[in-house]
Amino acid sequence: MAYTYDALKLEKGMYHEAGKSFTQVLEQCDPSEAYKGTALEGLDAYQRQLKRFDIKVKGTGSDVVEKFFRTSDSAVLFPEYIARSVRQGMEEANLLPEITAAVTRFDGLDYRSIASVPGEEKELRRVEEGAAIPATTVKTQENLVKLHKRGRMLVASYEAIRYQKLDLFSVTLRQIGAHINRMLLEDAIDVLVNGDGNGNPAQVHTVGAGAIGGSSGTLDYDALVDFWAQFEPYEMNTLLVPTDVMVSMLKLPEFQNPLTGLNFQGTGKLSTPMGAKLLRTSAMESGKLIGLDSRFALEMVQGSEVTVEYDKLIDRQLERAAITSISGFAKLFQDAAKVLKISG
């Protein structure tokens, strides 16, 4: 049986098509549907091209970087290898899916999110016969969502990396992905705390003040319960905490439950006795935590996924090749995220 992937002409222009990734363009030319029931089933169009040129990117038998540049066609695959390795690094230990309610992909520059009018009744009430049905007004936000370009510059000569194993080189690329993801998480936390420019910062509570019991400077279980109680009608199902707060919480007697420890050993995930998922990150400022209802708090707006300067990479000009991602965050419902400061 003749396969399309063996005869496909690869060229730089495949990275140019608006609104489509390189893999999507490849899939158009060589659909995966055609390989059902064959030995190539389960591979996407890019992976079939790696097989075509016998390029192994993983494991102890991985090839060297130079293998991509044996032919002009196979060189076209190199930027996609870079992008996929970076994306893998972004996805490893990625907390963003745990705190975002929706992801919107947007190609333009001027993006406005939506919100319901503050103060309007959101409870479901019985409507008497002939009475007006309560309404929830949804409108676009006044200010635009700020999209930021985040990335790293890959600085290396082709001569320096040409004989490096691809498996080892991908470790560096995954680290670049982890750096980009950390910057995105910092952006998300900033919007949760300070708002997105539409007058919607998070309400800040302090231990030992107002509705929160306990003593300022000390986090105890009573303070956490009081904080949890502030979320009605939302549900505090996620906590973002820095390392110092995480340590304090895990030392509380209420957290030393055998079932909690067993769950942590089995899944690597921690939860609080009130059911909130605990997410530790160094992107959080010490001495405070963020509680949120991840179903309603935050929208992620993606202007572009991982993009690379494919022209430079294909032509082996790696001296300064940018790897970037464009995205921003919008606050959906202001009261779905709140901040607790341990001390005033």
28 residue type, one letter: Q
Residue 244 lies in a domain: yes
Q: Could you tell me where the beta strands, DSSP code E, fall in 203-297?
A: 203-206, 238-241, 270-271, 277-280, 288-292
Per-residue pLDDT for 268 more than 90? no
* pLDDT on residue 64: 96
More confident residue, 46 or 114: 46
Residue 1 has pLDDT above 60, yes or no: no
Q: The domain spanning residue 225 has which CATH number?
A: 3.30.2320.10
Look at the block and give the residue holding tokens 């979320």.
Answer: 231
pLDDT at residue number 115: 74
Q: Of 106-120, 236-250, 285-299, 303-317, where does mean pLDDT reach its minimum?
A: 106-120
Output 163 or 269, whichever has higher pLDDT.
163
Q: Within a domain: residue 220?
A: yes
pLDDT value at 63 more than 60: yes
Residue 221 covered by a domain: yes
Mean pLDDT of the 172-185 span:
95
In this prediction, residue 238 carries a pLDDT of 96
- What's the pLDDT band for 317 if we cut at 50, 70, 90? confident
68 and 55 Cβ atoms separated by less than 8 Å = yes
For the ranges 3-17, 57-71, 84-98, which has the lowest average pLDDT? 3-17
Does residue 6 lie within any of the structural domains? no
Query: Whole-prediction pTM value?
Result: 0.87
Q: What is the mean pLDDT of residues 290-309?
A: 93
pLDDT the model gives residue 118: 55
In a domain, 289, yes or no: yes
Q: Span 111-130, mean pLDDT?
A: 67
* 226 lies in some domain: yes
What per-residue confidence (pLDDT) applies to 154? 87
DSSP 332: S
* Number of structural domains in the chain: 1
Looking at per-residue pLDDT, the higher value among 131 and 231 belongs to 231
Identify whether 3 is part of a domain: no
- Hey, how many other C-beta atoms are within 10 angstroms of the C-beta on 11? 12
On average, the pLDDT of the chain sits at 89
Where in the sequence is the domain holding 217, given as residue range(s)?
196-300+331-341
Binned at pLDDT 50, 70 and 90, residue 274 comes out as confident
Work out the average pLDDT over 218-247: 94
Confidence of residue 101 (pLDDT cuts 50, 70, 90): very high
What's the mean pLDDT in 155-170?
A: 92
Q: For residue 301, list its beta bridge partners.
A: 104, 328
| pLDDT score of 267 | 60
CA-wise closest residue to 301 among 136, 167, 100: 100
The reply to whether 225 falls in a domain is yes
Residue 322 in this model has a pLDDT that exceeds 80? yes
pLDDT, position 110:
74
Asked whether the beta carbons of 115 and 332 are under 8 A apart, the reply is yes
